[in-house]
Amino acid sequence: MGIEKPLEPPKNGLLVPELIPVAYEVVDAWKILISGLAQLLHVVPVHACSDCSDIHVALAGHNVQDCHGPTSGSRKSFHSWVKGSINDVLLPIESYHMFDPFGPRIKHETRFNYDRIPAVIELCIQAGVDLPGYPSRRRTTPIRMLGKKVIDIGGLIEEPKLQGSNGLGSSIMELDTYRIQDRYFPPAQSDVPKMAQQTVKAYETVKWGVTKLMKRYTVKACGYCSEVHVGPWGHNAKLCGEFKHQWRDGKHGWQDAIVDEMFPPNYVWHVEDPKGPPLKSALKRFYGKAPAALEVCMQAGAKLPDKYRPMMRLDIVVPEKVEARFVT
C-alpha cells in the first residue's frame, strides 16, 4: 500500500538491550563446551564411520547395520569405524561473518571477502558481542523499510578489514573447534567427572541462549543442505550441491532456521555399559539415543538432566538376543 511500517528491534537494525547479556553468556558457555569436550575426548573413545556421518561413543564401534554410505553394500551395512574427533561430536556449523547484515548481500564472486566462523558465534556478534578482529556495525538510528524493500539503511560505511585470519587469530582460535584437541592435554582422572558436569551445564546454556536469541534475531537455513546464514536475508553464493541444484543454479533454498539446524544435537546410540559387548542390530529397538556431546559427558561421569531420560530409555532392560522375539 506504500505505507511505511515502523519496525521493532532487531528487525530495524538496532540491538535488543536485554539480549546482550544472553549473547555474552552463550559465548562464555561455548568456550567451556568446546574446551571441555576437547579434553574429555582424550579419555572417552569416540568412533566415526569413514563412509557415513554416524558416530559411536564406546570402547568399540557398534554392530548395528544402519550404514548408508556409498560402499555400505559390500559391508552389509556394517559401519567402517575410525577414530572420531570433536567435529564428529559437535557438528561444525559455520556462517559468513558480515559487518552489516542489512548491507549488500554476499555474491558468489565476493564470497572469499568474508570469513567463515561458527554460526553460534556470528549470532552472538550480531546480538551485541564485541569480538576483536570481527567488528559489527552498531546503528543508533533504525533502518526504514517499505514492505520488503529497504529505503534507508543509514548510509553505507566502508567495512573495516577483517583481521581474524591475519593478525588477531587468537580471538577466534578459542571459539573454533579446528584442531582444538591438539591444544589441550588429557585431564587428571580425578577432574574428569567435574569437567564433564561443567560441560553438560555449558551445553544446556548454549542451547538455551541460542533458542532465546533466535526468537528475535533472524537465521536462515537452506532447505536442501546444511548451510546456515545469520541475518535477515540469505547470501547468494552458489554452493548448494544437493537435490536438483542445477535448477537453482547452485543457489540455496533459504527458509527460517530452527534451533537444531543452528546447534545440531547429533543423536547417537546410548550405551549402558561402554566396556560391554557391542550393540546388535537385532536389539536396536530397545536402545535409546542421546546428543553425542552429552553421551560423552555421561560416560565421563556426569549426571544428565531428567528431560533426556525418555529418549535414552534408561528405564528399559535390554533383553538377550534369544529373548528379544518373546518381547511384545
Residue-wise pLDDT for 116-151, tens only, equals: 999 999 999 999 999 988 999 998 888 888 877 777
pLDDT at 164: 46
pLDDT at 166: 44
Which parts of the chain sit beneath pLDDT 70? 1-2, 155-156, 161-171, 321-328
Alpha-carbon distance of 171 to 132, in angstroms, equals 6
Please name every residue paired with 64 in a beta bridge, in sequence order, or none if there are none.
Answer: none
pLDDT at 53: 92
10 Å Cβ neighbour count for 188?
8
pLDDT at 318: 79
- Structural contact between residues 296 and 46, judged by C-beta atoms closer than 8 angstroms: yes
Name every residue whose Cβ is closer than 8 Å to that of residue 53 and which is 6 or more positions away in sequence. none
Of the candidates 247, 277, 251, the one whose C-alpha atom is nearest the C-alpha of residue 63 is: 277
Please name every residue paired with 107 in a beta bridge, in sequence order, or none if there are none.
Answer: 236
Alpha-carbon distance of 29 to 206, in angstroms, equals 6
pLDDT at 327: 65
Domain boundaries defined on the chain: 17-102+113-215+265-326
